[in-house]
Amino acid sequence: MKCPSTGRFVNSGTGLPLQPLDIGHEDFVALVEPDTALWMLVKKEKLCDTLSDRELMSSFKDRIPDFKLEMQTLRFGLKPSAVYFNPTERCNLNCSYCYIPAAMRKDGEHMSQGKLIDALARLKEYFAKTVHGGRRPQVVFHGAEPMLARDAVFAGIKEFKDDFNFGVQTNATLLDDKAIDFLTSNGVGIGISLDSSVPEIANQTRMTWSGEGVYDQVISTMGKLKGYDSYSVIATITEKNVTHLSDIVDFLHGWEVPTCMLNVVRCTLPGARDVRAADDLSAKHFIAALDRTHELYRETGRKLTVANFANIVIGIIAPPARRLMCDISPCGGGRCFFALAPGGDMFPCSEFIGLPEFKGGNLFEDSIADVIKSPAFNKVTERKVEDIEPCNKCAIRHFCGSPCPAEAHEMNGSMKETGAFCEFYEEQVRYAFRLIADGKESDFLWDNWDKGTKTMFDIKAL
């Protein structure tokens, strides 16, 4: 026998490796098995008894193989099911933190209508092999500003409306009544961007090439989208708006926005780093904003879901039900989805457009399956928390995922480095556990988020 340990004792021999996690709750502490992301919440005064409760630990340990398999599938077994489709390199705005180089946004190329239709046909053929079970692959027209290629985009949506779930991520300045009517009547998801509830702040980061803010145009579009369910607003957290996040959620809730994202600025390009807010400050105000969404929900019965946080909560309570793929390692870039540039060049994620060494191939010249396996894509899909200090020792490594590879590479010099934020993710996970301890987590999630899921392990049932 190679190892004499019978695994009876927690944290020694082959016993269950459990890390206690201070979640900042008055009564509870979390115990996490980091590799499988299996966890339990324990009353603080019961921690020692729990760790030496052989029956409980043995039941916990028995589930490890199932959860290992689930985590393995989620991390390494998924096939692409979505594409971020950039139909143009150009943008009518010059936002301070954009990840697409300014020269591209100013003078870059558009994809012609014929090419766009051809691209969708190729994508349809590829996804038929990777997306099964009656699901539809997703195509999100993304930026630069996709509405600058509106005729081609709308022609593509018309022709392939039965083949894909379509979405458009836009700066909202070019959405006239006709465009809104077309998109809403075709059930296209619409994401728009707004960084503050007041123009003085919003206009500091999102502006035209001549420096004029676009707040008024975005608000006008929000008025027209009121009542449309498949619509969301992204606010990018920077030093300009970080102390106003609670005002933003108040404002968006007042406008009856169903879903928003409060995303820390991705620091892939230097311009974004100049407006980056401090990690701890971002965490503090982000959590205050989450508290505010909960108050609003309690007061009005109407939720404003903060999708990027909801995804963290789901990553804890039902990992495979995640909808976004930044907070899992490897992240979804290049394995669950990829990005397509207007000339057909393929990148693991839109964050890499503008970084030629991450081009994996070209949609019109190469097989998609080959591009997914290309060395350029592998650099991203093979980046995993186990290889990154200090993430490899972090108890919450599979609730955070150590994003973002583009930031790590460009800002910190290597795929084996962390990205721009750590405490922001730490605090989100601790807050999520506090909500779970208080039985409030569903208040922060989409309605019916658990449709199609089943409970695999309920500690209360032991």
Name the residues that contact ligand SF4, by CB under 6 A: 266, 325-326, 331-333, 349, 351, 385, 390-391, 394, 396-397, 400, 402-406, 418, 422, 425-426
Which one, 53 or 417, has the nearer CB to ligand SF4?
Answer: 417
Partners of 333 in beta bridges: 337
* SS3 label, residue 127: helix
Closest CA to 192 of 246, 142, 154, 264: 142
Which one, 36 or 402, has the nearer CB to ligand SF4?
Answer: 402
Closest contact distance (angstroms) between CB of 348 and ligand SF4 is 6
Closest contact distance (angstroms) between CB of 435 and ligand SF4 is 18
Which one, 361 or 403, has the nearer CB to ligand SF4?
Answer: 403
d(CA 45, CA 57): 17
Which one, 235 or 296, has the nearer CB to ligand SF4?
Answer: 235
Which one, 250 or 351, has the nearer CB to ligand SF4?
Answer: 351
Closest CA to 20 of 35, 42, 53, 49: 42
d(CA 152, CA 114): 8
Which one, 90 or 397, has the nearer CB to ligand SF4?
Answer: 397
Alpha helices in 232-390 (DSSP H): 245-254, 270-274, 279-300, 307-317, 368-372, 375-381
Cβ 421 vs Cβ 264: under 8 Å:
yes
Which one, 120 or 406, has the nearer CB to ligand SF4?
Answer: 406
Which one, 333 or 342, has the nearer CB to ligand SF4?
Answer: 333
Alpha helices in 318-422 (DSSP H): 368-372, 375-381, 397-400, 405-412
Closest CA to 280 of 312, 224, 239: 239
Closest contact distance (angstroms) between CB of 116 and ligand SF4 is 23
**162: its two tokens:** 């039965």
Partners of 211 in beta bridges: none
Closest contact distance (angstroms) between CB of 391 and ligand SF4 is 3
Task: Give the C-alpha distances (Å, rounded to integers) separating 136 from 74, 125, 450.
Answer: 19, 12, 19
Counting every residue written for the chain, the total comes to 462
HSE of 301 in the Cβ direction (CA atoms, 13 Å)?
0
Residue with tokens 């702040």: 201
DSSP 279: H
Which one, 43 or 393, has the nearer CB to ligand SF4?
Answer: 393
Cβ 125 vs Cβ 83: under 8 Å:
no
d(CA 197, CA 201): 8
Closest contact distance (angstroms) between CB of 183 and ligand SF4 is 24
* SS3 label, residue 354: coil
Closest contact distance (angstroms) between CB of 384 and ligand SF4 is 11
Closest contact distance (angstroms) between CB of 373 and ligand SF4 is 18
**42: its two tokens:** 């324990």
Closest contact distance (angstroms) between CB of 165 and ligand SF4 is 18
Which one, 83 or 391, has the nearer CB to ligand SF4?
Answer: 391
Closest contact distance (angstroms) between CB of 335 and ligand SF4 is 9
d(CA 338, CA 83): 5
Closest CA to 19 of 404, 429, 324: 429
Other CB atoms closer than 10 Å to residue 366's CB: what's the count? 15
Spatial CB neighbours of 395, under 8 Å, sequence gap ≥ 6 = 19, 21, 32, 34
Closest contact distance (angstroms) between CB of 403 and ligand SF4 is 4
Closest contact distance (angstroms) between CB of 144 and ligand SF4 is 16
Which one, 166 or 377, has the nearer CB to ligand SF4?
Answer: 377
